[in-house]
Amino acid sequence: MFVKKNSWTKKSQDKKCFFFTKGNVCSYNSNEVKAMEIKYGTVDKIRTLQVSARPLIRFSLNEVNCLIASHSLNFLAEVDEGMKLVVTGYYNNRKQFVVRSYHVLGKPKIVVEYEKSLYPRKKVQ
């Protein structure tokens, strides 16, 4: 059984469809079909490969090399080495896992740092 969701991109106006099946997500554009996978694991070795307006970040998730570019600044603020993560993406031709979306299991790094801060919190009256 497939559930179909249609969306339109602003740049190319190509129709993109997403199919959600048991365990896999398939997305296709007019020319390509990519089998999306869901992975779970612990983050190791966070590295910045390219610094630009949208940086390219590399990290390891249970010894699988992963790349993230779409939400990389948020990723750097929320994820630290040793945190548990669920990612959705696909493998490119170099056998690297390209991350489309991620979810942090537990508290994000920015929340943990805020809770440890030395500054007093506002008193609510």
In a domain, 121, yes or no: no
Q: Which residues contact 99 (CB under 8 A, 6 or more apart)?
A: 66, 67, 68, 70, 87, 88, 89
CATH number of the domain bearing residue 50: 2.40.50.140
For 32, the domain range is 3-115
Q: What is the pLDDT of residue 29?
A: 53
Q: What is the pLDDT of residue 46?
A: 92
In a domain, 40, yes or no: yes
DSSP for 37-85 reads EEEEEEEEEEEEEE-SSS-EEEEEETTEEEEE-TTHHHHHHH--TT-EE
| 3-state secondary structure string across 108-122 | CHHHHHHHHCCCCCC
| Domains contained in the chain, number | 1
In a domain, 124, yes or no: no
In a domain, 97, yes or no: yes
In a domain, 122, yes or no: no
Q: What is the pLDDT of residue 122?
A: 73
* Global pTM value: 0.66
The per-residue pLDDT for range 64-96, each reduced to its tens digit, is 999 998 888 899 999 999 999 999 999 999 999
Q: What is the pLDDT of residue 124?
A: 75
Q: What is the pLDDT of residue 33?
A: 63
In a domain, 54, yes or no: yes
Q: Is the pLDDT of residue 53 over 90?
A: no
- Of the listed ranges 39-48, 57-66, 106-115, the one predicted with least confidence: 106-115
The per-residue pLDDT for range 97-122, each reduced to its tens digit, is 999 999 999 999 988 888 888 877 77
Q: Is the pLDDT of residue 6 over 50?
A: no
